[in-house]
Copies of this chain bind each other. A is one copy, B any other.
Amino acid sequence: MAVVPTLLVLDADPLPRLGRLTGRVRVLHADGTTLAARLPEADALLVWDAASDAVRAAWPGEGPRPGWVHTASAGAERVLCPELAASDTVVTTARGLFEEPVAEYVAALVLAMAKDLPGTWEAQRRGEWRPRETPRVAGGRAVVVGSGPVGRAVARSLKALGLTTALVGRVARTGIHGPDDLDRLLARADWVIAAAPLTERTAGMFDVRRFGVMQPSARFVNVGRGGLVVEDALVRAVRSRWIAGAAVDVAATEPLPPDSPLWRVPGLLVSPHMGGTAVGRHDELGAQFVDLFERWAAGRPLKNVVDKALGYVPGR
């Protein structure tokens, strides 16, 4: 590493505030088209445009590669191509900044669906006063798939609403169910929340069979990654009333294409991957990166390091 390290930033608006790193680092900027050419110059890569797939495309190839890649995202699936996974490069994520906002967002979606707020606002548009009886949320059963920090924050938030909540993770451990329990839990759940990382194991796990196992009164929420869900199966499950409704904040392709059938299924709510966002978020992401950069530049161990075999940051 050079005396003044070179930081390559895959840009997005607004740009990161590098604060106290200013002057202590040589900053190069890249977009999707220039990333491959600039990678060999970089000691570190900040994937500020966390919605971009440019790293997966640019990483394979000739020349030196940065020793550290940080993605300003909760998940590493967009940067982790096989060549990066097999390399010595350390990958870190923005873990820690998304958990609580996502948990609030799930609470918002669950309550809004339970109280049929979409139906109420649709009625308001027509000037129609039409009271209905709606189910209580408290006393219901939720299954949260994904036992990482996001899943656990979601479970805490749902417990605070009075729901009985079961967490399902990759392996069973104290307080967390393993995959073998999943179908049995799904069959009894009022609410199914997908909050897992996207990995080879989890891709497409919510398929026709799994939606078929759920109760007709169940509702499904995806705040993990779009790829967890076979989207055609979800469309069919909601249209056919296999389940009572769904809300997806993530999609396999984002932005969701205008011709996606997800947009137009009654009872299926689409939101634009904003569960983890919050006012001030960009400043928090920037400050988190600056802290990590100082550790890295000082040769101290990084935090939020991805286990590249698992595909996410393991541990508590």
Give the contact stretch, choosing among A28-36, A69-77, A201-209, A269-277: A269-277
Is A84 positioned at the interface, with any CB of B under 8 Å from its CB?
A: no
Is A138 positioned at the interface, with any CB of B under 8 Å from its CB?
A: yes
Output the nearest chain B residue to A255 by Cβ-Cβ distance: B129
A209 to B126, CA, bound (A): 31
Given contacts A100-B136, A114-B108, contact A131 B279 (CB under 8 A): no
Establish whether residues B112 and A108, one from each chain, have CB atoms under 8 Å apart when the complex forms: yes
Output the nearest chain B residue to A118 by Cβ-Cβ distance: B121
Is A115 positioned at the interface, with any CB of B under 8 Å from its CB?
A: yes
Convert A130-149 into 0s and 1s, putting 1 for each residue whose CB lies closer than 8 angstroms to a CB of B. 11111111100000000000
The interface residues of chain B lying within 8 Å CB-to-CB of A109 are: 117
The interface residues of chain B lying within 8 Å CB-to-CB of A108 are: 108, 111-112, 114-115, 117
Is A310 positioned at the interface, with any CB of B under 8 Å from its CB?
A: no
Given contacts A111-B104, A117-B112, A127-B258, contact A132 B270 (CB under 8 A): no
Is A263 positioned at the interface, with any CB of B under 8 Å from its CB?
A: yes
Establish whether residues A134 and B269, one from each chain, have CB atoms under 8 Å apart when the complex forms: no
Establish whether residues A117 and B117, one from each chain, have CB atoms under 8 Å apart when the complex forms: yes
The interface residues of chain B lying within 8 Å CB-to-CB of A132 are: 274, 277
The interface residues of chain B lying within 8 Å CB-to-CB of A279 are: 133-136
Establish whether residues A127 and B278, one from each chain, have CB atoms under 8 Å apart when the complex forms: no
Is A120 positioned at the interface, with any CB of B under 8 Å from its CB?
A: yes
Is A105 positioned at the interface, with any CB of B under 8 Å from its CB?
A: yes
- The residue from B105, B136, B254, B272 contacting A104, defined by CB atoms under 8 A apart: B136
Q: Which of A115, A130, A258 is most buried by chain B, counting CB atoms within 10 A of its CB?
A: A115
Give chain A interface residues in 178-208, CB to chain B under 8 Å.
Answer: none
Is A20 positioned at the interface, with any CB of B under 8 Å from its CB?
A: no
Is A58 positioned at the interface, with any CB of B under 8 Å from its CB?
A: no
Establish whether residues B160 and A278, one from each chain, have CB atoms under 8 Å apart when the complex forms: no
Q: What 4 new A-B contacts, CB under 8 Å, besides A108-B108, A131-B272, A132-B274? A: A112-B112, A121-B269, A124-B263, A127-B263
28 A-B contacts, Cβ less than 8 Å apart? A100-B136, A101-B136, A104-B111, A104-B138, A104-B161, A108-B112, A108-B114, A108-B115, A109-B117, A111-B111, A111-B112, A112-B112, A112-B117, A117-B117, A117-B271, A118-B121, A127-B264, A129-B256, A129-B272, A130-B272, A131-B272, A131-B274, A131-B277, A132-B274, A133-B277, A133-B279, A134-B279, A135-B279
